[in-house]
A and B are shown apart, each in its own frame.
Chain A
Amino acid sequence: MPMIWNRFRYGIRALLGKNPAGRRLTVFPDDVFIVSYPRSGNTWIRFLVGNLLDPDDPISFANVESRVPEIYFFSDQQLLARARPRVLKSHEYFDPRYKRTIYVVRDPRDVAVSLYYYSMKRKTIPQGYALEEFIPKFVAGEFFDYCGSWEEHVLSWHATRKSHAESLFLKYEDLLANPEQELARIACVLHADGVPGRVARAVELSSAARMRNLEEKHSSEWRLTRGTRQDIAFVRQAKSGGWRSELSAPLVRTIEQAWGATMKNLGYELLGDGNGDLGKS
């Protein structure tokens, strides 16, 4: 019965052109995609990019979906009506139709912690759910299963778009350490470089402190936070290395055993380093 209902609902939505675009999105060759695994700094980049492209009308959670829309919130038809070139947010694993991508990768140990609190915020796990239960499921790719696992997601884009003329592969940690330098690289890909002061201004307008203030104002309206627990923030710590105080050594080992080789290749130092037996099976 629920299957028939789902089919019916899908059919009606298809008739009205209301199904979210997602993977069915019509892709134009000039589209720019901000791509990442969830909780890896995607929203921050949307703010940075939006503020870079139009500093006179700063990005907030109230207008971000109209400036840098997320492909899961709008139908293909709605997105077709947007001015081109479009800048779109996506969490898809490799999609060969995406020609211009800004990919951001983040230390999976920090992603794990961030995703843990975010899942609690979204009520997909209950308050007090043990990290010991969460981490193995995260490693198995059970959360956001349409994305694949963290490693599959990262590798699929890294292999195909890292050394690609119109694409960029960023690390969240570099963005935190040198936001202006990294945003300048983004500006280059967007052909939005050349106006002095713009990059610095966009970084300022997209600070964690400012984003937290805006979240307080708009979080009950924004699609992504509407209906979630308001006592847990969407803009959380916005720093790197938080896993050191949050994850026990065995949990860190679980992550490093699964993805150690890829983490090392991306320049993430392993806690369990030196014994040589970590890495991809």
Chain B
Amino acid sequence: MASLHEIIRRAVGALVTTGRVLTGRQIAGRGVTVFPDDVFLVSYPRSGNTWTRFLLGNLLWQNDPVTFLNIESRIPEIYFNPDRFMRALQRPRLLKSHESFQPHYPHVIYIVRDPRDVAISFYHHNVKAGNIPDDYPISSFVPRFIAGEFDRIFGSWRDNVLSWTALRQGTPGFLLLRYEDMKRDPATVLAEVAAFLEGCSFRAIDARPEALKRTIELSSPERMRALEKQEAGQWVLTKGTRRDKPFVRSAISGGWKSQLPAESLAAIESAWGGLMQSLGYELASGTVSPTMVSHGEIS
């Protein structure tokens, strides 16, 4: 028998859903209406998606820089916006998503990041969100991260990455970006993205070196941090989270080398080593056996 508390919680939940549905304010999420010219910016959480949104927003709207306040009307996140709002946006649209493989997404830019860095970033993110206490050991966090416990609907890092790469890598309409390549040489990656978007029926994009330079400057971690300070109280993703922990964190790659305990490093590499290697991430523990490399391939 359900408790009274549970019954009330359910009733309130159902009322809220009903109200949202009736007024067209239901968050789109997985039920988002997809148009054939849509481009989805997909990644596992904490893999540089927001930075990429800034880069692409500043590339597409070169005279009106992106902030945390206008990003949701430029490149909206499907989990924070009603379908009705996004349907009204100018097409072709760029939409942010964290879903694992979705057959109906027509064009996908998928960002992958070294899972050892994702683990650290995700750890701090969960402290910020209040899901784990400040002193929660990272070595206890990592096994739960590997099991995909913190963002159940998006799956584990492996499930998310593998589901996309196994089905779409090498097909037209799919562009795989590595966060680390974007950090190292953002101009080259941006030029590639601009060409991809033009191939997806976007209007011609100014990708001359000086335009790319400005885009990159407008999306620098320093500028994003300054904007976050001003706007974190209003942005839907940071509203109601702890202010003493920033959303834009270190924005570096390779932080795991100094921050990840040895046992956590070993756990990640033994769980996902094959997939990591196939994406070009060198393992600290050396090359793994061929049976692990076969992850994601048909054997």
Contacts and interface: CB of A to CB of B under 8 A. Distances in A.
A96 B21 contact: no
Contacts of B15: 15
A145 B104 CA distance: 9
A38 interface: no
Contacts of B10: 17, 77
Contacts of B21: 7, 10-11, 14
A266 B159 contact: no
A279 to B, nearest CB: 12
Contact of A96 (B22, B24, B154, B294): B154
Interface string B14-37: 110111011010000010000000
Interface in B61-98: none
A159 B103 contact: no
A141 to B, nearest CB: 7
B163 A159 contact: yes
A155 B147 CA distance: 22
Identify whether the interface residues of B are mostly helix, strand, loop, or mixed. helix
B163 A148 contact: no
Given A17-B10, A158-B298, A159-B296, A94 B163 contact: yes
Nearest to A14: B17
A94 B162 CA distance: 11
Contacts of B166: 155-156, 158-160
Contacts of A7: 21-22, 24
B226 interface: no
A152 B174 CA distance: 15
B160 A96 contact: yes
A23 B24 contact: no
A137 interface: no
A77 B7 CA distance: 12
A169 to B, nearest CB: 10
Contacts of B155: 96-97
B152 A156 contact: no
Nearest to B152: A97
A149 B163 CA distance: 15
Contacts of A158: 166, 298
17 contacts: A7-B24, A8-B22, A11-B19, A11-B22, A14-B14, A17-B10, A23-B30, A93-B101, A94-B101, A94-B163, A96-B100, A145-B104, A159-B163, A160-B166, A160-B296, A266-B298, A281-B171
B153 interface: yes
Contacts of B18: 11-12, 14-15
Given A7-B24, A96-B153, A148-B103, 16 more contacts: A10-B21, A11-B18, A14-B18, A15-B17, A16-B14, A17-B14, A93-B103, A94-B101, A96-B155, A96-B160, A97-B155, A152-B101, A158-B298, A163-B294, A265-B298, A266-B298
B1 to A, nearest CB: 11
Interface in B162-182: 162-163, 166-167, 171
Contacts of B163: 94, 96, 156, 159-160
Interface string B266-299: 0000000000000000000000000000111011
Interface of A: 7-8, 10-12, 14-17, 23, 27, 77, 93-97, 141, 145, 147-149, 152-153, 155-156, 158-160, 163, 262, 265-266, 281
A179 to B, nearest CB: 25
A158 B159 CA distance: 11
Identify whether the interface residues of A are mostly helix, strand, loop, or mixed. helix
Nearest to B14: A15
B156 interface: yes
B148 interface: yes
Contacts of A10: 21
Interface in B130-172: 148, 152-156, 158-160, 162-163, 166-167, 171
10 interchain residue pairs of minimum CB distance: A96-B155, A148-B103, A159-B166, A265-B298, A11-B21, A96-B159, A15-B18, A11-B18, A14-B17, A152-B103
Contacts of A15: 14-15, 17-18
A96 to B, nearest CB: 2
A97 B99 CA distance: 12
A152 B22 CA distance: 34
Nearest to B295: A163
Most A Cβ at <10 Å: residue of B21, B155, B294 = B21
B98 to A, nearest CB: 11
A141 B104 CA distance: 10
Interface string B250-272: 00000000000000000000000
A24 B240 CA distance: 26
Contacts of B104: 145, 148
B101 A97 contact: no
A252 B11 CA distance: 53
Nearest to B148: A96
B157 to A, nearest CB: 10
Most A Cβ at <10 Å: residue of B24, B103, B158 = B103
B20 to A, nearest CB: 8
Nearest to B170: A280
Contacts of A93: 101, 103
